Amino acid sequence: MRVLTVMNFAPDADTPQRGRWVVDQVEALREGGIDVDLFTFPPGKNQYVPATRKIRQLIRKDDYDLVHAHYGLAGWCARLAGAKPLIVTFHGTDVRHPTVGRMSRSLTRRIDLVGAVSLALFGPEDGRPGLPLHPGKNAVIPCGADLKRFSPGSKREARQRLGLDPDSPFLFFPADPTRAEKRHDRALAVAEKAGAELKTGGSIAPEEMCDWMNAANGVLVTSDYEGFGLACLESLACDVPVLSTPVGVAPHLLAGLPACLCEEFDPETWSKHAEKLIAEDDPRTPGKGRAASLSAVRMAERVALAYEEILARGATGAMSSASIGNDGGH
Protein backbone atom coordinates (compact mmCIF):
# COMPACT_ATOMS: atom_id res chain seq x y z
CA MET A 1 0.00 0.00 0.00
CA ARG A 2 1.33 3.44 -0.95
CA VAL A 3 0.06 6.49 0.90
CA LEU A 4 0.75 10.20 0.58
CA THR A 5 0.43 12.05 3.90
CA VAL A 6 -0.04 15.82 3.72
CA MET A 7 0.51 18.24 6.61
CA ASN A 8 0.71 22.02 6.85
CA PHE A 9 2.08 22.12 10.38
CA ALA A 10 5.79 21.83 9.70
CA PRO A 11 8.10 22.66 12.63
CA ASP A 12 10.36 25.68 12.70
CA ALA A 13 13.06 27.07 14.99
CA ASP A 14 10.52 28.58 17.40
CA THR A 15 8.20 25.55 17.49
CA PRO A 16 10.35 22.46 16.87
CA GLN A 17 7.67 20.12 18.24
CA ARG A 18 4.93 21.31 15.92
CA GLY A 19 3.47 18.48 13.88
CA ARG A 20 5.67 15.87 15.56
CA TRP A 21 2.58 13.81 16.37
CA VAL A 22 1.91 13.37 12.64
CA VAL A 23 5.54 12.41 11.99
CA ASP A 24 5.30 9.83 14.79
CA GLN A 25 2.23 8.33 13.14
CA VAL A 26 3.94 8.22 9.74
CA GLU A 27 6.96 6.48 11.25
CA ALA A 28 4.73 3.96 13.04
CA LEU A 29 2.84 3.24 9.81
CA ARG A 30 6.14 2.67 8.01
CA GLU A 31 7.24 0.28 10.74
CA GLY A 32 3.97 -1.54 10.17
CA GLY A 33 4.84 -2.13 6.52
CA ILE A 34 2.97 0.71 4.79
CA ASP A 35 4.86 2.77 2.21
CA VAL A 36 4.21 6.38 3.25
CA ASP A 37 5.53 9.59 1.69
CA LEU A 38 5.18 12.73 3.82
CA PHE A 39 4.66 16.12 2.19
CA THR A 40 4.76 19.08 4.58
CA PHE A 41 4.39 22.77 3.94
CA PRO A 42 4.44 25.71 6.35
CA PRO A 43 1.29 27.49 7.53
CA GLY A 44 0.31 30.79 5.97
CA LYS A 45 -2.18 31.95 3.36
CA ASN A 46 0.51 32.30 0.70
CA GLN A 47 1.39 28.62 1.00
CA TYR A 48 -1.90 27.00 -0.03
CA VAL A 49 -1.84 27.56 -3.80
CA PRO A 50 1.74 26.32 -4.32
CA ALA A 51 1.05 23.41 -1.95
CA THR A 52 -2.01 22.42 -3.97
CA ARG A 53 0.05 22.47 -7.15
CA LYS A 54 2.76 20.34 -5.56
CA ILE A 55 0.25 17.78 -4.27
CA ARG A 56 -1.27 17.57 -7.74
CA GLN A 57 2.19 16.90 -9.18
CA LEU A 58 2.88 14.21 -6.59
CA ILE A 59 -0.34 12.28 -7.11
CA ARG A 60 0.07 12.45 -10.90
CA LYS A 61 3.67 11.30 -10.72
CA ASP A 62 3.32 8.48 -8.19
CA ASP A 63 0.81 5.68 -7.95
CA TYR A 64 -0.62 6.36 -4.48
CA ASP A 65 -3.46 4.17 -3.23
CA LEU A 66 -4.84 7.02 -1.12
CA VAL A 67 -4.03 10.42 0.35
CA HIS A 68 -4.22 11.18 4.07
CA ALA A 69 -4.23 14.87 5.03
CA HIS A 70 -3.89 16.22 8.55
CA TYR A 71 -5.76 19.43 9.45
CA GLY A 72 -8.60 20.99 7.52
CA LEU A 73 -6.68 23.44 5.35
CA ALA A 74 -4.21 20.78 4.26
CA GLY A 75 -7.24 18.63 3.49
CA TRP A 76 -8.65 21.35 1.25
CA CYS A 77 -5.34 21.53 -0.63
CA ALA A 78 -5.40 17.78 -1.20
CA ARG A 79 -9.06 17.88 -2.26
CA LEU A 80 -8.46 20.69 -4.76
CA ALA A 81 -5.41 18.81 -6.06
CA GLY A 82 -7.68 15.91 -6.99
CA ALA A 83 -6.70 13.44 -4.27
CA LYS A 84 -8.93 10.35 -4.31
CA PRO A 85 -9.66 8.54 -2.08
CA LEU A 86 -8.98 11.18 0.57
CA ILE A 87 -8.90 10.81 4.34
CA VAL A 88 -8.61 13.93 6.50
CA THR A 89 -7.75 13.82 10.19
CA PHE A 90 -8.95 16.89 12.07
CA HIS A 91 -7.01 17.80 15.18
CA GLY A 92 -8.92 20.45 17.10
CA THR A 93 -8.07 24.04 16.28
CA ASP A 94 -9.03 23.40 12.66
CA VAL A 95 -12.52 22.48 13.90
CA ARG A 96 -13.01 25.03 16.69
CA HIS A 97 -11.49 28.09 14.96
CA PRO A 98 -14.20 30.65 14.01
CA THR A 99 -13.05 30.88 10.38
CA VAL A 100 -11.10 27.71 9.65
CA GLY A 101 -13.70 25.66 11.52
CA ARG A 102 -16.39 26.54 8.99
CA MET A 103 -14.08 25.54 6.16
CA SER A 104 -13.24 22.25 7.87
CA ARG A 105 -16.88 21.38 8.46
CA SER A 106 -17.63 22.17 4.81
CA LEU A 107 -14.80 19.89 3.68
CA THR A 108 -16.31 16.87 5.44
CA ARG A 109 -18.95 16.55 2.69
CA ARG A 110 -16.26 16.24 0.03
CA ILE A 111 -13.93 13.55 1.39
CA ASP A 112 -14.06 9.78 1.82
CA LEU A 113 -13.37 9.55 5.54
CA VAL A 114 -13.79 12.16 8.26
CA GLY A 115 -11.20 11.38 10.91
CA ALA A 116 -11.06 13.03 14.34
CA VAL A 117 -8.34 12.62 16.92
CA SER A 118 -10.99 12.20 19.62
CA LEU A 119 -14.72 11.68 19.90
CA ALA A 120 -14.97 15.16 21.44
CA LEU A 121 -14.44 16.73 18.02
CA PHE A 122 -17.75 15.34 16.79
CA GLY A 123 -19.63 17.38 19.39
CA PRO A 124 -19.73 20.99 20.55
CA GLU A 125 -17.18 22.17 23.10
CA ASP A 126 -16.92 25.50 24.90
CA GLY A 127 -19.61 26.97 22.65
CA ARG A 128 -17.88 25.89 19.44
CA PRO A 129 -19.51 23.41 17.03
CA GLY A 130 -17.96 20.06 16.23
CA LEU A 131 -17.58 18.05 13.06
CA PRO A 132 -20.83 17.01 11.36
CA LEU A 133 -21.66 13.32 11.23
CA HIS A 134 -21.96 11.71 7.81
CA PRO A 135 -23.29 8.11 7.82
CA GLY A 136 -20.52 5.63 7.12
CA LYS A 137 -17.79 8.28 6.85
CA ASN A 138 -16.72 8.98 10.45
CA ALA A 139 -13.83 7.57 12.44
CA VAL A 140 -11.81 8.37 15.55
CA ILE A 141 -8.17 7.98 14.55
CA PRO A 142 -5.76 9.66 17.00
CA CYS A 143 -2.03 10.01 16.44
CA GLY A 144 -0.89 8.76 19.84
CA ALA A 145 2.36 9.17 21.76
CA ASP A 146 5.69 7.67 20.75
CA LEU A 147 6.46 5.56 23.80
CA LYS A 148 10.01 5.06 22.57
CA ARG A 149 10.56 8.72 23.44
CA PHE A 150 8.39 9.00 26.55
CA SER A 151 8.94 6.81 29.60
CA PRO A 152 9.51 7.31 33.35
CA GLY A 153 12.98 8.46 34.31
CA SER A 154 14.97 9.92 37.19
CA LYS A 155 13.75 13.41 38.07
CA ARG A 156 17.16 14.46 39.35
CA GLU A 157 18.98 13.20 36.24
CA ALA A 158 16.44 14.88 33.96
CA ARG A 159 16.97 18.19 35.72
CA GLN A 160 20.72 17.83 35.51
CA ARG A 161 20.55 17.18 31.74
CA LEU A 162 18.39 20.28 31.32
CA GLY A 163 20.68 22.43 33.46
CA LEU A 164 18.01 22.93 36.15
CA ASP A 165 18.39 23.07 39.91
CA PRO A 166 17.96 19.41 40.94
CA ASP A 167 16.25 20.42 44.20
CA SER A 168 13.94 23.18 42.94
CA PRO A 169 10.34 22.02 42.27
CA PHE A 170 8.31 23.45 39.39
CA LEU A 171 5.11 23.01 37.42
CA PHE A 172 5.27 22.53 33.67
CA PHE A 173 2.96 24.13 31.10
CA PRO A 174 3.92 22.15 27.97
CA ALA A 175 2.19 24.31 25.35
CA ASP A 176 3.18 27.44 23.47
CA PRO A 177 2.09 30.26 25.83
CA THR A 178 1.17 32.49 22.87
CA ARG A 179 -1.68 30.16 21.82
CA ALA A 180 -4.71 31.74 23.44
CA GLU A 181 -6.78 28.54 23.65
CA LYS A 182 -4.09 26.88 25.80
CA ARG A 183 -4.75 29.46 28.57
CA HIS A 184 -1.29 30.19 29.86
CA ASP A 185 -2.93 32.78 32.12
CA ARG A 186 -4.63 30.01 34.05
CA ALA A 187 -1.39 28.10 34.50
CA LEU A 188 0.29 31.25 35.82
CA ALA A 189 -2.53 31.80 38.31
CA VAL A 190 -2.21 28.23 39.62
CA ALA A 191 1.56 28.48 39.98
CA GLU A 192 1.35 31.83 41.76
CA LYS A 193 -1.28 30.62 44.23
CA ALA A 194 0.65 27.40 44.85
CA GLY A 195 3.91 29.32 45.37
CA ALA A 196 5.56 27.38 42.56
CA GLU A 197 7.74 28.24 39.60
CA LEU A 198 6.09 27.72 36.20
CA LYS A 199 8.10 26.64 33.18
CA THR A 200 6.60 26.66 29.71
CA GLY A 201 6.98 24.77 26.45
CA GLY A 202 6.60 25.95 22.88
CA SER A 203 10.25 26.06 21.85
CA ILE A 204 11.43 22.77 23.34
CA ALA A 205 13.01 20.26 20.97
CA PRO A 206 11.09 16.95 20.69
CA GLU A 207 14.04 14.95 22.01
CA GLU A 208 14.06 17.04 25.22
CA MET A 209 10.36 16.89 26.03
CA CYS A 210 10.59 13.62 27.96
CA ASP A 211 13.20 15.15 30.26
CA TRP A 212 10.97 18.18 30.85
CA MET A 213 8.08 15.92 31.79
CA ASN A 214 10.19 13.81 34.16
CA ALA A 215 11.78 16.90 35.69
CA ALA A 216 8.44 18.48 36.63
CA ASN A 217 6.42 17.99 39.80
CA GLY A 218 3.27 18.18 37.73
CA VAL A 219 2.01 19.10 34.26
CA LEU A 220 -0.73 21.70 33.71
CA VAL A 221 -3.18 21.37 30.80
CA THR A 222 -5.41 24.41 31.28
CA SER A 223 -6.86 24.58 27.75
CA ASP A 224 -10.29 25.85 26.74
CA TYR A 225 -10.40 22.93 24.33
CA GLU A 226 -8.21 20.15 22.95
CA GLY A 227 -8.87 17.98 19.94
CA PHE A 228 -6.91 15.15 21.55
CA GLY A 229 -4.52 16.32 24.26
CA LEU A 230 -1.17 14.75 23.47
CA ALA A 231 0.62 16.49 26.35
CA CYS A 232 -1.61 14.67 28.83
CA LEU A 233 -0.74 11.35 27.19
CA GLU A 234 2.99 12.07 27.10
CA SER A 235 3.00 13.10 30.76
CA LEU A 236 1.28 9.91 31.82
CA ALA A 237 3.74 7.89 29.74
CA CYS A 238 6.38 9.34 32.10
CA ASP A 239 4.22 8.61 35.20
CA VAL A 240 4.07 12.35 35.87
CA PRO A 241 0.85 13.72 37.46
CA VAL A 242 -1.39 15.88 35.28
CA LEU A 243 -3.87 18.61 36.16
CA SER A 244 -6.22 19.07 33.21
CA THR A 245 -9.47 20.65 32.23
CA PRO A 246 -11.94 18.01 30.93
CA VAL A 247 -10.92 18.39 27.29
CA GLY A 248 -9.97 15.90 24.58
CA VAL A 249 -9.05 12.50 26.00
CA ALA A 250 -8.19 13.80 29.48
CA PRO A 251 -11.39 12.58 31.19
CA HIS A 252 -10.75 9.06 29.91
CA LEU A 253 -7.01 9.03 30.59
CA LEU A 254 -7.04 10.62 34.05
CA ALA A 255 -10.08 8.89 35.54
CA GLY A 256 -9.12 7.30 38.86
CA LEU A 257 -5.39 8.01 38.60
CA PRO A 258 -3.87 9.12 41.93
CA ALA A 259 -2.20 12.53 42.11
CA CYS A 260 -4.03 13.66 38.95
CA LEU A 261 -6.89 16.14 38.58
CA CYS A 262 -9.43 16.48 35.76
CA GLU A 263 -11.92 19.24 36.53
CA GLU A 264 -13.20 22.49 35.14
CA PHE A 265 -10.69 25.19 35.92
CA ASP A 266 -10.93 26.73 39.36
CA PRO A 267 -7.79 28.49 40.63
CA GLU A 268 -8.42 27.60 44.27
CA THR A 269 -9.03 23.89 43.71
CA TRP A 270 -6.20 23.59 41.23
CA SER A 271 -3.66 25.48 43.34
CA LYS A 272 -4.43 23.34 46.41
CA HIS A 273 -3.84 20.22 44.35
CA ALA A 274 -0.64 21.72 42.92
CA GLU A 275 0.62 22.54 46.43
CA LYS A 276 0.55 18.83 47.28
CA LEU A 277 2.65 18.00 44.21
CA ILE A 278 5.14 20.75 44.96
CA ALA A 279 5.53 19.52 48.53
CA GLU A 280 6.62 16.07 47.35
CA ASP A 281 10.16 15.36 46.23
CA ASP A 282 9.12 13.17 43.29
CA PRO A 283 5.34 12.84 42.85
CA ARG A 284 4.34 10.13 40.40
CA THR A 285 1.20 8.43 39.13
CA PRO A 286 0.88 4.98 37.51
CA GLY A 287 0.10 6.40 34.08
CA LYS A 288 2.36 4.53 31.68
CA GLY A 289 -0.02 1.61 31.27
CA ARG A 290 -2.91 3.98 30.63
CA ALA A 291 -0.87 5.86 28.03
CA ALA A 292 0.07 2.62 26.26
CA SER A 293 -3.55 2.17 25.20
CA LEU A 294 -3.16 5.25 22.99
CA SER A 295 0.43 4.80 21.84
CA ALA A 296 1.52 5.86 18.36
CA VAL A 297 1.91 2.19 17.39
CA ARG A 298 -1.59 1.26 18.59
CA MET A 299 -3.12 4.23 16.81
CA ALA A 300 -1.16 3.53 13.61
CA GLU A 301 -2.70 0.06 13.60
CA ARG A 302 -6.09 1.74 13.78
CA VAL A 303 -5.24 4.06 10.91
CA ALA A 304 -3.98 1.15 8.81
CA LEU A 305 -7.30 -0.60 9.36
CA ALA A 306 -9.13 2.51 8.14
CA TYR A 307 -6.91 2.54 5.03
CA GLU A 308 -7.73 -1.08 4.30
CA GLU A 309 -11.46 -0.51 4.67
CA ILE A 310 -11.43 2.59 2.45
CA LEU A 311 -9.64 0.67 -0.29
CA ALA A 312 -11.78 -2.44 0.14
CA ARG A 313 -15.00 -0.55 -0.30
CA GLY A 314 -13.69 1.45 -3.26
CA ALA A 315 -14.31 4.71 -1.38
CA THR A 316 -18.04 3.89 -1.10
CA GLY A 317 -20.17 2.26 1.55
CA ALA A 318 -19.90 2.33 5.33
CA MET A 319 -17.05 2.05 7.77
CA SER A 320 -17.17 -0.70 10.35
CA SER A 321 -14.38 -1.33 12.87
CA ALA A 322 -12.79 2.10 12.42
CA SER A 323 -16.03 3.93 13.14
CA ILE A 324 -16.99 6.06 16.10
CA GLY A 325 -17.52 4.46 19.45
CA ASN A 326 -14.71 1.96 19.98
CA ASP A 327 -11.72 2.26 22.31
CA GLY A 328 -10.05 5.27 20.70
CA GLY A 329 -13.23 7.27 20.76
CA HIS A 330 -13.05 8.51 24.33
- Please give the C-alpha separations between residue 17 and each of 151, 169, 174, 292, 326, in angstroms, as whole numbers: 18, 24, 11, 21, 29
pTM score: 0.80
Collapsed DSSP state (helix, strand, coil) of residue 74: helix
Measured in whole angstroms, the distance separating CA 3 from the mean position of its chain's CA atoms is 21
Q: Is 269 left (phi over 0), alpha (psi -120 to 50) or beta?
A: alpha
Dihedral sign computed on CA atoms, order 29, 31, 37, 40: positive
Contact (CB, 8 A) for 135 and 324: no
Print burial letters for 138-152: b (CB count within 10 Å at least 16), e (below 16): bbbbbbbbbbeebeb
- In this structure, of 12-26, 133-147, 197-211, 272-286, the range with the lowest mean pLDDT score is 12-26
Least Cα distance to 117 among 227, 234, 19 occurs for 227
State mean pLDDT over 194-202.
92
β-bridge mates for residue 4, sequence order: 37, 67
**CA-based nearest residue to 216, from 151, 272, 125, 277:** 277
Q: What is the pLDDT of residue 16?
A: 66
> Is the model's pLDDT at 329 over the cut of 60?
no
Going from the N-terminus, what domains does the chain have, and what CATH number goes with each?
2-144+296-329 (3.40.50.2000), 155-292 (3.40.50.2000)
* φ, ψ of residue 78 in degrees (nearest 5): -65, -40
**Among residues 290, 319, 315, 316, which one has the least CA distance to residue 145?**
290
Q: Could you give the CA distance from residue 183 to residue 9 in angstroms, rounded to a whole number?
A: 21
Report the alpha-carbon distance of residue 38 to residue 9 in Å, rounded.
12
CA distance 211 to 204: 10
> Per-residue pLDDT for 324 more than 60?
no
| Residue percentage of the chain with pLDDT more than 70 | 93
Q: Which of 55-69, 115-129, 175-189 has the weakest average pLDDT? A: 115-129
User: What number is the average pLDDT over the span 299-324?
Assistant: 74
pLDDT surpasses 80 at 217? yes
Mean pLDDT of 152-158: 96
Q: What pLDDT does residue 321 have?
A: 43
Tell the burial category of 222 from Cβ atoms under 10 Å away from its Cβ (0-12, 13-18, 19+).
buried
How many whole angstroms separate alpha carbon 30 and alpha carbon 322?
19
The mean predicted confidence, pLDDT, of the chain is: 90
The DSSP bridge pattern shows strands 170-173 and 138-140 to be unpaired
Measure the CA–CA gap between 220 and 247, rounded to whole angstroms.
12
Write out the E strands in the chain.
2-7, 35-40, 66-70, 86-90, 113-116, 138-140, 170-173, 197-200, 218-221, 242-244, 261-262
CA distance linking residue 253 with residue 236, whole number of Å: 8
Tens digit of pLDDT for each residue in 305-315? 999 999 998 74
Residue 191 CB partners (closer than 8 Å, separation 6+):
171, 197, 198, 220, 274
- Look at residue 205 and give its three-state secondary structure: coil
